[in-house]
Amino acid sequence: MAAITFDGVTKIFAGKPAVDSLSLHIDDGEFMVLVGPSGCGKTTALRMLAGLEEITTGRLLIGDQVVNNVLPKDRDVAMVFQNYALYPHMSVAQNMGFALKIRGESKDVIRSKVSDAAEILRLTDYLDRRPRALSGGQRQRVAMGRAIVRSPQAFLMDEPLSNLDAKLRVEMRLEIARIQRLLGVATLYVTHDQVEAMTMGDRVAVMRDGQLQQVARPQDLYDRPANDFVAGFIGSPPMNLLRAGVARDGDVTLSIAGQSVTLPERLASPYHLANGEVTFGIRPEDIVVGATGLRARVERCEALGAETLVHLSLNAKGASQHLVAKAGPRTTIVAGDDLAVTFALEHAHFFDVTSGATLRVGS
């Protein structure tokens, strides 16, 4: 087992950087989730670590060894593919034992390790089956089994849950996290699903357009996003990002869609807020629908059972901005209602309009 270090790693495809100067350290035993939208470079980063893509510049280390020019077979990493990549002509046991067979382990050792892994993954009854005779969840577990029998230096997982239905995905999310903690192997897990990122990772790295945006523990990522992209990407539904005018005179007055909100000095002081414009961020759960506050019209309600998402339009003096609030499960709010909303400003965020970076002091 070993730590993993991306040190200024860049990958250029057709003249354009797919991964741009990625620097990321994954501690031994740590579960790191790499998350971002499609095309952000997360899978390319994973494939470079696996040795399936060459590195254009930078250094990639597993433990203390630079592995830029080390073949995949010599890196001692195990990978779980999005489509599982199970060998269709081999049984479950043969799939799981293939790497050990290639390594020249004896049949007894292979049988023993496969049996142990099958027990952890609850696959003992399926060892003689071919992959096509298994359900999606079972195939996923075989792919996991193939990785864990090797006791590798690191686990690499490329969206391994994306082919499963919602219920199974929740189960396997817990299962993978459990196994990873049981084995204590450094893991890089790639996903575009921020729920997986938040629930599984010890830390989460957010990528966009090949560049790393922020690395932090899930709750820190949620509470203190480094920029408006992370703020909008992490959280479901995402943070509301509204254009706001700032007028500073002791307290700060925010002008949102032509309406004014006063931000007390004690809440404004953690931010560099100067007269001008900012991006004001507020999460749906930090919006309170009541009798007083900013005037808003309900455009649509989405009842999710446990809660209701209320889509609102802040509208005054010709300016209009859209935001989403959370209401209770049995709310009486309906589309077309005119309401008033207030913000829990102690949880508000402010970002630079141009760069998108947080205006939090010290960030």
Partner 1 sequence: MKARRLTLSQRRQLAGVVFALPALALVIGLIGVPIGQAVYYSFTQWDGITTTWIGPSTWSQAFHNSDLWTALKNNAALLIWVPVALGLPLAIAVLLHQRVAGWKIFRSIYFLPTAISWVVLGLVAERFFAYQGTLNSIIHAIGLSGVTTNMLGNESTALSALGITFVFTMIGTNTMLFLTGLATLDPSLEEAARIDGAGRWRIFRHITLPHLSRFIQLAFVMTVIALFSALFSLIFVMTGGGPGYATTTMEFLIYQTGFSQGQFGTAALYGLILFAITGVVGIVQLRLIGSDL
Residues making contact with partner 1 (CB under 8 A): 50-52, 71-73, 75, 77-79, 81-83, 85, 87-89, 98-99, 102-103, 146, 150
**247 in Cβ contact with 261 (< 8 Å):** no
Min separation Cβ 363 and partner 1, Å: 38
Min separation Cβ 99 and partner 1, Å: 4
Q: What tokens were used for 143?
A: 């792919």
- ∠ CA 18-21-25, rounded to 5°: 110
Sequence-distant (6+) residues with CB within 8 A of 194 are 35, 233, 234, 235, 236
Q: Give whichever of 2 and 252 is closer to partner 1, judged by the CB atom.
A: 2
- Measured N-to-C along each axis, helices 107-120 and 92-103 cross at an angle, to the nearest 10 degrees, of 130
Sequence-distant (6+) residues with CB within 8 A of 156 are 46, 49, 50, 77, 78, 79, 80, 187, 188, 190
Amino acid at 231: A
Min separation Cβ 195 and partner 1, Å: 25
Q: Give whichever of 74 and 285 is closer to partner 1, judged by the CB atom.
A: 74
Min separation Cβ 151 and partner 1, Å: 13
CA distance 231 to 97: 43
Min separation Cβ 219 and partner 1, Å: 33
* Tokens 């808003």 sit on residue: 296
Min separation Cβ 275 and partner 1, Å: 55
Q: What backbone phi and psi angles, to 5 degrees, belong to 362?
A: 90, 0
Q: Give whichever of 155 and 351 is closer to partner 1, judged by the CB atom.
A: 155
Q: Cα–chain-centroid distance for residue 59?
A: 24
Q: Give whichever of 111 and 248 is closer to partner 1, judged by the CB atom.
A: 111
Min separation Cβ 191 and partner 1, Å: 17
**228 in Cβ contact with 281 (< 8 Å):** yes
Q: Give whichever of 100 and 172 is closer to partner 1, judged by the CB atom.
A: 100
Q: Give whichever of 153 and 214 is closer to partner 1, judged by the CB atom.
A: 153
CA distance 102 to 1: 20
Q: Give whichever of 43 and 138 is closer to partner 1, judged by the CB atom.
A: 43
Task: List beta partners, residue 12.
Answer: 17
Min separation Cβ 168 and partner 1, Å: 21
Min separation Cβ 134 and partner 1, Å: 16
Q: Give whichever of 85 and 288 is closer to partner 1, judged by the CB atom.
A: 85
Q: Give whichever of 50 and 263 is closer to partner 1, judged by the CB atom.
A: 50
